[in-house]
Amino acid sequence: MKGVFAFIGFLIALPIGPGALDMNWTSKIPTEQTLQKSNVKLSDVASANPGAVVSDMLVDQAIDLAKDHDAGNRAFLTSRFEIRDSDFPEITTTKVTSTKFIKAPSTSHSHPGDTSLLLDRIDSIYNKMSLEERVGQLFMIRAHSNLGPEHVSAVKQQIKKYHVGGLCFFQGTPGGHAELINSYQKLSTIPLLVAIDAEWGGGMRFKESGMSFPRQLMLGAIQNSTMLYDMGIEVGRQLLEIGINVNFAPVVDININPNNPVINDRSFGEGMYNVTAKSYQYMRGMQAAGIMACAKHFPGHGDTDVDSHLDLPVIGHSLGRMDSVELFPFKTLIDKGVQSVMVAHLHVPSMDNTPNLPTTLSPWVVDTLLRQQLGFDGLVFTDALEMKGVTKHFGPGEVEVMAVIAGNDVLCLPADISISFPAVIKAIDSGEIPAQRLEESVKRIIRSKLRLGLFKSDTANVNPDAFPANGLALKGELIENAITAVSNEGKLIPIRKVRKKSIACLNIGSAKTTPFQERLTSYTDVKNISVTQDQLGQRRKGLLDLLSPNDIVIVSLTGMDKLAQRDFGLSAGTRAFIEQLNAETQVILVVFGSPYSLKFFEDVPNVIMAYQDDPMVQDITAQALFGAFSFRGRLPVTASSRFPVNHGLQLASLGRLGYSIPARVHMSADTLDKISLIVDEMIAKRAAPGCQILVVKDGKVIYDKAFGHFTYAGKRAVNMKDLYDVASLTKVAATTMAAMTLYEEGIFLPRQTLDYYLDDVQNTNKEHLVVRDLMAHQAGLQPWIPFYDATMSKTRSGSAPSKEFYRNHREADFNVQVARGLYMRDSQMDSIWLRILESEVRINRGYRYSDLGFYILAEIIERQTRNALDIYCTNTFYEPLGMSRTCFKPLDNFKVGEIAPTEEDRTYRKQRLQGFVHDAGSAMLGGVGGHAGLFSNAEGLAILMQMLLNGGSYGGEQYFNQKSIATFAHRVPNSTRRGMGFDMKELNPDRDIHTSPLASDGTYGHTGFTGTCIWNDPENDMIYVFLSNRTYPSSRNNKLNKLEIRERIHTLIYKSMGS
């Protein structure tokens, strides 16, 4: 290994950067002498691609693969390989019979499990079989679960008549497959090998109910190849559940040819070491799960421009080139224990120049090369024998006989088994197929079935209902690691400041709003427009006029084609439109399609490659665009000179909220689902008519659901965009935030007395009250004052707003709107302040909850900032954070139908309160109070709380330092639950607790009178938001507290974490 490290050091020393583009890179390849010193062969080195970046991570992964190889092994590097045969040693140009082929690293290919007991078992099974049963083991036939009873009957007939050894399943459903596998296994004396093409998971065949991971080309962008091991485990687990035991994956072809019509995005890319590392991890995971993996398509299908389903591709490379590039992944996986290999239908004259002979039927390719030279002793599958790549020149029966003679073990999908089965029998009887040749293959098949446990397990009773999508969390993680920022000249990615920034998104490819566009609106207001390419052509000018004035236009491309031959489905008009739009405004282009299409967008300064048009990919890409996580991917292929393989910008996260599922953060979705039972109880017992619940764990929203309705009448269902009156959460989400900002500016000093800030309090019982005590509710203030009492007049039925103080329309001196059609006299606001100053202060200054302290704190903040509290908080926090649905006085910006009602007020305003603050004192201050007045949806509050968990940063902006947060969210002296502004978990077991008892002691937040709460748990990196209107129709309803609805839900959340 010393030589390997020396060689890698040499590579890293090569000049990389703009100046390197003009260099003759082939002249910089190490000389024979240099390589001899580092124990690396010249024939093992391919020429580097100009501008390619050497990835240390891939080098390290490759070294890990090479750790136990012999000293003469190849050094691993990451670069693109030029297609030049002159770079590789020539072996021969005629039909090869030589054994001079460069071998894979020498290692023992004996199987540790091949004990004498196992060999005896294999012999015993083999010896009991008739010739027809032995021949039948070679055949693997087609099976579907969606073709009806005639197809099922035909498959059963072939199992019984031809004793087939295996089935290859295609379209259907997981349950349908499982039921049929149960049925088919019962018919077979020897358990069936059951295979499937599930290269990216079961979703490749189960279109509606299967789990699809990203395709291999997207996975090739991931820098941490070990993630593919986890994917292999999960794919294997899911397939085993329905009775599958062989997966025809991984595809280890190196897709060097951008015009490849059949491999393309099924390959991990064009870098042979990247392909090898990822193929190895995927294979290792599947086999660890108990699934037989299959490396395909031997000897390498990546540099073709013909689909072997339709014709026979010809590869004209020399044997040296094939050995050094195409065969490299196969050699490594064989050395690492891959259990099967699939041979492709290719014509490679440098290997076998027999005219029109596919590699599948070539004895030299299958036997001499794969078996003898590479030492592979696992199962060899043919590619489908019904494909034109083999049937164009050879007929049924002839194909299968030649395939067996060539050395293949399993004959996949014969075109007509009624012809091929007797043809193989006849060839054996005549000696054309030696008996030993048959014995070798059948015993390998038996050995494989024994190793897969098919003779031990009850293969006739697999579970037809066990195909859950448990891999979604892993899929999300893979996507996050693959998305690639390929250009960021305008420094727009990720989008930072959203305040007062006009952003539009044009999706081209679908007339419907896409998941990408929907997720964008979680971060800021985005004008979404969706058009097909035809509609784009029709509306070109209008769209340009509409989009150009925006500060940023995000253009997303969906519905693309993967083939270069069809320009990836992008018309010239579409490409011209993007170019013109880019000239008129700042454009961020997001491509949900082939990375090869980037060649069309070299002049676009800001580009994200998202690889696939998949709903989850779209959602996660939108999160990446706004900085929910970092960009880490690198291009797995070369698109152009500007976008070479391994290119990718590493852009840091901005700490914004992400969105995922509970499993992603190791929480139980089943446990969280029980929240709905508590909510059902809440509604049924009329504790509240509806609510929003949101949970954030590790920076990701993993639960956000709306329940119930605005009222018990059930006419308007709650959604997550709706606004609730959050009542005393205002104390935290507005007043405390403002106080913390001023604290960091040195003008808000918690230990100072009120007379330091307010001349009004001098010579009153308030002048020596300490600010910190006000924030912790231990200043001795009264709990509240019913200010509205003094403005009411008596009526026969009770009381009503006095005409002395109120008007039903705005007029001079009556500008304070307290409800719909109700305006208070302006001077009454001063009266409120005077009543607070004149209010009593308790001699005993112990804890007693009081709103009055936050009236006073708001006054201090407004005088210090010379701004109204609502304007200050909006400008300082809500707008820059992207809290677009958090505000005071919501009717200034939202329709009344978007706001949950709080009460049928029979005491003061005599009407339904909807859009006007519930708290009477706040209403009399114009809807803006330090204690109440804020409206929000759950998501807005979660953003604010996440900023605090981030240590004061969010979206690339720093709002607080961690020390300030720790100062305020810390219990004040002599308190078991109160910080400065923040409520905290009660530590005294004899007192009521407003959090879950499972919450950590450092949990902080607040509750609200209307039935709300927000809690941050720094120890568990978790946020809980609950919003309801429990006060509707009457605030006297206290069932939410008595039933402990909020606390029980909070506890369930902890239980979902395993607490």
pLDDT of 365-395, one tens digit each?
A: 999 999 999 999 999 999 999 999 899 999 9
Q: Are residues 42 and 133 in the same domain?
A: no
993 exposed, middle or buried (CB, 10 Å; 0-12, 13-18, 19+)?
Answer: middle
Residue of 87, 253, 383, 725 marked catalytic: 383
What span, in angstroms and rounded, lies between the C-alpha atoms of 706 and 729? 19
pLDDT score, position 951: 98
Whether a cis peptide bond, with omega within 30° of 0, leads into 297 is: yes
* Residue 607, strand partner residues: 487, 589
Q: Are residues 394 and 427 in the same domain?
A: yes
The SS3 assignment for 930 reads coil
Cβ atoms 909, 801 nearer than 8 A:
yes
What span, in angstroms and rounded, lies between the C-alpha atoms of 484 and 659? 19
pLDDT score, position 934: 99
Strand 792-795 vs strand 798-801: parallel, antiparallel, or unpaired?
Answer: antiparallel
Cβ atoms 340, 380 nearer than 8 A:
yes
Please report, as a single letter, which amino acid is at residue 944: L
Cβ atoms 59, 75 nearer than 8 A:
no
Those residues whose C-beta lies under 8 Å from the C-beta of residue 1054, and which sit 6 or more positions away, are 996, 998, 999, 1020
Q: Are residues 574 and 613 in the same domain?
A: yes
The chain-wide mean pLDDT, for the chain, equals: 89
Whether a cis peptide bond, with omega within 30° of 0, leads into 174 is: no
Which CATH number covers residue 544? 3.40.50.1700
**660 domain-assigned:** no
**116 domain-assigned:** no
The SS3 assignment for 452 reads coil
What span, in angstroms and rounded, lies between the C-alpha atoms of 109 and 375? 7
Q: For the residues of 722-769, what is the DSSP string, one character each?
A: -BEE-TTHHIIIIIIHHHHHHHHTT---TTSBGGGT-GGGTTSTTTT-
Phi, psi of 530 (to 5 degrees): -130, 135
Six token digits for residue 625: 């665009």
Q: What is the pLDDT of residues 511-562, one digit of tens each?
A: 999 999 999 999 999 999 999 999 999 999 999 999 999 999 999 999 999 9
Those residues whose C-beta lies under 8 Å from the C-beta of residue 849, and which sit 6 or more positions away, are 777, 783
Please report, as a single letter, which amino acid is at residue 474: L
**H or E stretch at 717:** none
Q: Are residues 384 and 520 in the same domain?
A: no
What is the pTM (predicted TM-score) of this model? 0.87
What span, in angstroms and rounded, lies between the C-alpha atoms of 585 and 643? 23
Assess whether pLDDT exceeds 60 at residue 13: no
**110 domain-assigned:** no
Assess whether pLDDT exceeds 70 at residue 688: yes
Q: Are residues 681 and 646 in the same domain?
A: no
Count CB-CB contacts under 10 A for residue 957: 15
323 is catalytic: no
Residue of 69, 151, 309, 709 marked catalytic: 309
Residue entry with tokens 């024979």 = 32
What span, in angstroms and rounded, lies between the C-alpha atoms of 988 and 391? 81
- Pick the last residue of a domain from 622, 654, 686: 654
Structural domains counted in the chain: 4
- Give the domain extent around 880: 675-1056
Please report, as a single letter, which amino acid is at residue 12: I
Assess whether pLDDT exceeds 80 at residue 301: yes
Q: Are residues 528 and 412 in the same domain?
A: no
Q: Are residues 136 and 73 in the same domain?
A: no
* Residue 898, strand partner residues: none
**103 domain-assigned:** no
Q: What is the pLDDT of residues 707-752, one digit of tens each?
A: 999 999 999 999 999 999 999 999 999 999 999 999 999 999 999 9
**HSE-up of 347 (CA within 13 Å, CB side)?**
18
Those residues whose C-beta lies under 8 Å from the C-beta of residue 291, and which sit 6 or more positions away, are 235, 236, 239, 240, 244, 245, 246, 247
User: pLDDT category, 796, cuts 50, 70, 90?
Assistant: confident
* Residue 765, strand partner residues: none
Q: Residue 309: which of 223, 231, 163, 415 has the closest Cα? A: 415
Q: Are residues 752 and 896 in the same domain?
A: yes
Phi, psi of 990 (to 5 degrees): -85, -5
Residue entry with tokens 């103080």 = 805
pLDDT score, position 64: 52
Cβ atoms 981, 987 nearer than 8 A:
no
User: pLDDT category, 39, cuts 50, 70, 90?
Assistant: very low
The SS3 assignment for 292 reads strand
- Pick the last residue of a domain from 432, 451, 470: 451
**470 domain-assigned:** no
Assess whether pLDDT exceeds 80 at residue 345: yes
Q: Residue 963: which of 737, 744, 654 has the closest Cα? A: 744
Please report, as a single letter, which amino acid is at residue 677: L
User: pLDDT category, 68, cuts 50, 70, 90?
Assistant: very low
What span, in angstroms and rounded, lies between the C-alpha atoms of 924 and 939? 28
**1004 domain-assigned:** yes
**37 domain-assigned:** yes
Among 13-22, 335-344, 908-917, name the one with the lowest average pLDDT.
13-22
Q: For the residues of 128-176, what is the DSSP string, one character each?
A: TS-HHHHHHHTEEEEE-SSSHHHHHHHHHHHHHHH---EEEE-SS-HHH
Pairs from 668-671 (Cβ < 8 Å, separation ≥ 24): 668/1055, 668/1056, 668/1057, 668/1058, 669/1056, 671/1052, 671/1055, 671/1056
Cβ atoms 460, 182 nearer than 8 A:
yes
**445 domain-assigned:** yes
**H or E stretch at 545:** helix 540-547
What span, in angstroms and rounded, lies between the C-alpha atoms of 232 and 288? 8
Q: Are residues 401 and 502 in the same domain?
A: no
pLDDT score, position 867: 98
User: pLDDT category, 173, cuts 50, 70, 90?
Assistant: confident
Q: Are residues 10 and 43 in the same domain?
A: yes
Q: How far are the Cα atoms of 946, 952, 1015 from residue 695, in angstroms, in the given order?
A: 11, 19, 10
Q: Are residues 841 and 729 in the same domain?
A: yes
pLDDT score, position 468: 53
* Residue 341, strand partner residues: 295, 380
Q: Residue 1020: which of 1049, 1046, 1058, 974 has the closest Cα? A: 1058
What span, in angstroms and rounded, lies between the C-alpha atoms of 602 and 151? 51
**HSE-up of 1033 (CA within 13 Å, CB side)?**
8
Those residues whose C-beta lies under 8 Å from the C-beta of residue 897, and which sit 6 or more positions away, are 716
Q: For the chain, what is the radius of gyration of the CA atoms?
A: 35
Cβ atoms 779, 843 nearer than 8 A:
no
Q: For the residues of 323-361, what is the DSSP string, one character each?
A: IIIITHHHHHHHHTT-SEEEE---B-TTT--STT--GGG
Please report, as a single letter, which amino acid is at residue 449: K
Q: Are residues 646 and 690 in the same domain?
A: no
Among 103-107, 672-676, 857-861, 978-982, name the one with the lowest average pLDDT.
103-107
Those residues whose C-beta lies under 8 Å from the C-beta of residue 351, and which sit 6 or more positions away, are 96, 299, 319, 322, 359, 362, 364, 365, 369
309 is catalytic: yes
CA dihedral over 712, 716, 717, 721, signed as positive or negative: negative
Which CATH number covers residue 355? 3.20.20.300
